[in-house]
Structure 1
């Protein structure tokens, strides 16, 4: 599973975990938040899914890494939102197996979901947030889900 860093180019998942640890070690007294989010865009021929790993140094910027996957077209909104959430949760598990759990034990981790009170996705809020919180993570929706609705969205074209 490879990721892209806007500043460092292509990185393996292990390299991403190392970069996250190093970023926190640079200023260990600061407050941090780890964010995982996925967004997608669908055309008639495919759905592009973009998952983001972001470490936010509160008040002082952030570092992020993203991964794109091209899938068969998912035209159904509910199916697409469920797949986005599933990819985010799978990513957290894979990262934890590679050492991210040492950070998640100390820092808050949020799963950002590209749904909100406005539009067609509002009917999904309770079930998606319930799913994420039931597996032990903090769920954020719009307007607080910038990992999915801003950062991942930017690369999902």
Structure 2
């Protein structure tokens, strides 16, 4: 079972590839975007978690969405060897994992993505960058609503990403979520 690790130890996968480094993820994103540099893109990073017997599994998804024209996505999974019961602790760790991955892209790759689109801005090319937070603002429905503003403030402090929460945070609440349900042995 893979343990909670440092950023450079993360590997990503999707339905067709396994063991992608962050550099390889960046390469795949650039290849995908170069196929249509006149398009509108959403670059999304989001993390979700699920408590399993004896550990808590965290899945971080990276998505480059060419609006109306498809997407390329991958995910990484790590486990903390205990069952986290605090909603706040889970939400803080989810947001932290997303921020760590987002930090890699903020240190150069995000600029390269923007530069690829820059010559085509007048034809509609644009890149929006998001960190999706798996939390909602409706107190009756979401126990996470107490901590939303704190997580939003953390993401906004990064400067290069806009935070999104439920129901708009599909990177965390839909894409990453579907991989958290499986046990670690089932997906490795």
Name the TM tier (shorter chain).
over 0.9
1:148 pairs, out of 172, 178, 185, with 172
Shift of 1:43: 2.5
Checking the alignment, whether the CA contact within 8 Å between 1:39 and 1:152 is kept in structure 2 is: yes
Alpha carbons of 1:123 and 1:57: their partners in 2 closer, same or farther (altered >3 Å)? same
Map 1:31-110; keep pairs closer than 5 Å. 31-72=40-81, 73-97=83-107, 99-103=109-113, 107-110=127-130
User: How far apart, in 2, do the equivalents of 1:146 and 1:83 lie?
Assistant: 18
Map 1:108-119; keep pairs closer than 5 Å. 108-116=128-136, 117=138, 118-119=141-142
User: How far apart, in 2, do the equivalents of 1:62 and 1:122 lie?
Assistant: 29
TM-score, scaled to structure 2: 0.78
1:120 pairs, out of 116, 139, 143, with 143
Runs of 4+ with >6 A deviation: none
User: Secondary structure of 1:141's partner?
Assistant: strand
User: Secondary structure of 2:112's partner?
Assistant: helix
Cα deviations by residue, 1:105-142 (Å, 9 ceiling, x for unpaired)? 76211000110123201111111111111221200001
> Gaps spanning 5+ residues in structure 1: where?
none
65-74 or 1-10: which moved more? 1-10
> Gaps spanning 5+ residues in structure 2: where?
1-9, 118-126, 182-188
Is it true that 1:138 corresponds to 2:175 in the alignment?
no
Shift of 1:97: 4.2
Computed over aligned residues only, the root mean square deviation of the Cα atoms, in angstroms, reads 1.6
Shift of 1:3: 0.4
User: Secondary structure of 2:79's partner?
Assistant: strand
